[in-house]
Amino acid sequence: MAEEKKNTTDLGEGSVGKLLIKLALPAIVAQMVNLLYNMVDRIYIGHIPETGDVALTGLGLCLPIIMIITAFSSLVGAGGAPRASIAMGKGDNETAEKYLGNCFAMVVMCSVILTIVLEIVGVPALRLFGASDRTLPYALSYMRIYVAGTIFVMISLGLNTFITTQGFSQVAMKTVLIGAICNIILDPIFIFAFRMGVKGAALATIISQAVSAAWVMKFLTGEKTRLKLRKENLRLEKSVVVPVLALGISPFIMTATESILNIAFNSSLSKYGGDVAVGAMTIISSIMQLQFMPTQGLAQGAQPILSYNYGAGKMDRVKRAYRLLITIGLGYTLAFWTLVQLFPGFFVRLFNSSSPELISTTAWALRIYMAVTGVFGIQMAVQQVFVSLGQAKLSLFIACLRKIILLIPLIYILPLFLEDKVFAVFLAEPVADFISVTVAGTLFLLNIKKILKKQEDELA
């Protein structure tokens, strides 16, 4: 018992601000370290002599597939963890463990199906994503190996949320930290020492994810966890699966549509700007992750506080938590936006310093693409609050609005009206961001009091 208290946190007591810091800092570190999985690959690959720019573009073409796998991890993990946390807030750990067991079963099922399907459709999918004859070999080499390790990726990403939601934020951070350290060590060995290039980057990533998955499984079946993975909870139950999928569909769409967006951007940019424009999009996507991953870590740190206290009926703590989440999230996105607008070339050269054409194109496009992301911390915070409080419909609408309703159509519509087609494609992002942030903020102000009052009445 003493060991458990040492490693976990009482989510219903103490200062909300200190609690948020305690849970969010490890989550932010975990997100930033997780970002290294792809960032390190891209940095090393982008600096391969002579072929670095083409290889980097090929790796970027694999992003939709990586995001699809991540999306299914979010469907299960981000849908199940808040449900488990709300149950824990009500003192019902038995139901919380059912969520954990059913989510593990779903992770295994999804990973098997995804591996088979993605291996079959590899070449036509990459062609659809904008692969040319020059970039296809690099993209296919990376994709084949990465897809083979889908189960490791999904376990480490999907089930780590069940460690965070119990208050074991430092353990969850170590999940990603262990894998990232392995990746940083293995990448130069496989890419350069063994001369495996893109294949080496993929192999290093999958081995690292396997180590992270082993760590997660060891913890969730060990003695320190409050929610244990038990054999009797692996059988899927409709009463458990449906609420998980209903809540997880919003984070799933948020992530899955990143894949669709990447396809839309790459295909349009390939048409109007060729391989250089696609390569620029690869670098911009990486820089965007530098802005969004810390805010996602902050949101992950806030989720157990929001969900647990919502389930326990402690609405004052819920209010303090979401106010802090919005304030800190907005502050960070504004600060990062300022740096990007002032020094775009610095960020671009992190990924490639040998191609003047790629550097100049990317620096120009980066300022356009990220023109409104300074206020995007509002939408990310609002999205997390709705998910944490079990508001599936509102979170789903916000997820669909920005990407499906606005951004994807704008990518194809704006080039019809503007002479500079490449500029028009990149312009779609700030237009969609402005509208979606405005709508998300309005929905939050109109609904948050009603949501909290309804829960109070149900618990009374």
Position 83 confidence tier, pLDDT thresholds 50, 70, 90: very high
Cα-Cα-Cα-Cα dihedral sign, residues 409, 410, 416, 422: negative
Indicate if the pLDDT at residue 7 is higher than 60. Answer: no
Tell me what the mean pLDDT of segment 258-278 comes to. Answer: 85
- Report helix, strand or coil for 68: helix
Residues 225-252: tens digit of each pLDDT: 999 999 999 999 999 999 999 888 877 8
CB-hemisphere CA count at 13 Å for 334? 8
Least confident of 31-45, 212-226, 360-374, 409-423: 31-45
Report CA Rg, the chain: 21
Indicate if the pLDDT at residue 371 is higher than 60. Answer: yes
Tell me what the mean pLDDT of segment 37-61 comes to. Answer: 73
The tokens for 448 are 């948050």
Tell me what the mean pLDDT of segment 105-123 comes to. Answer: 95
Position 29 confidence tier, pLDDT thresholds 50, 70, 90: confident
Q: What is the DSSP letter of 166?
A: T
Q: How much is the pLDDT for 1? A: 40
Q: What is the DSSP letter of 403?
A: I
**Angular region, 230: left φ>0, alpha ψ -120 to 50, beta rest:** beta
Name the nearest CA neighbour of 336 among 376, 394, 382, 381.
376
Q: What span, in angstroms and rounded, lies between the C-alpha atoms of 115 and 121? A: 10
**318 contacts 310 by C-beta, under 8 angstroms:** yes
Least confident of 75-84, 199-208, 392-401: 392-401
Indicate if the pLDDT at residue 52 is higher than 70. Answer: no
- Report helix, strand or coil for 372: coil
Indicate if the pLDDT at residue 69 is higher than 70. Answer: yes
Residues 121-176: tens digit of each pLDDT: 988 988 887 788 888 998 899 999 999 999 999 999 899 999 988 888 889 888 88
Q: How much is the pLDDT for 5? A: 43
Q: To which residue do tokens 């060729």 refer? A: 274
Residues 287-342: tens digit of each pLDDT: 888 888 888 889 888 988 998 899 888 899 999 999 999 999 999 999 999 999 99
| Higher local confidence (pLDDT), 390 or 35 | 390
Contacts of residue 406, defined as CB under 8 A and 6 or more positions apart, other chains included, come to 431, 432, 435, 436
Indicate if the pLDDT at residue 2 is higher than 70. Answer: no
Q: How much is the pLDDT for 258? A: 75
Cα separation of the two ends of the chain = 32
Q: What span, in angstroms and rounded, lies between the C-alpha atoms of 34 and 39? A: 9
Q: What share of the chain has pLDDT > 70, as a percent?
A: 95
Q: How much is the pLDDT for 73? A: 94
Q: How much is the pLDDT for 9? A: 58
Indicate if the pLDDT at residue 64 is higher than 90. Answer: no
**Taking the domains of the chain in order of start, what are their residue ranges?**
12-459
The tokens for 180 are 């990232």
Q: How much is the pLDDT for 55? A: 80
Give CA 117 to chain center in angstroms.
22
**275 contacts 61 by C-beta, under 8 angstroms:** no
**329 contacts 378 by C-beta, under 8 angstroms:** yes
Mean pLDDT of the chain: 88
Indicate if the pLDDT at residue 222 is higher than 70. Answer: yes
Q: What span, in angstroms and rounded, lies between the C-alpha atoms of 95 and 81? A: 12
Name the nearest CA neighbour of 291 among 339, 258, 244, 254.
339
- Residue 329 identity: G
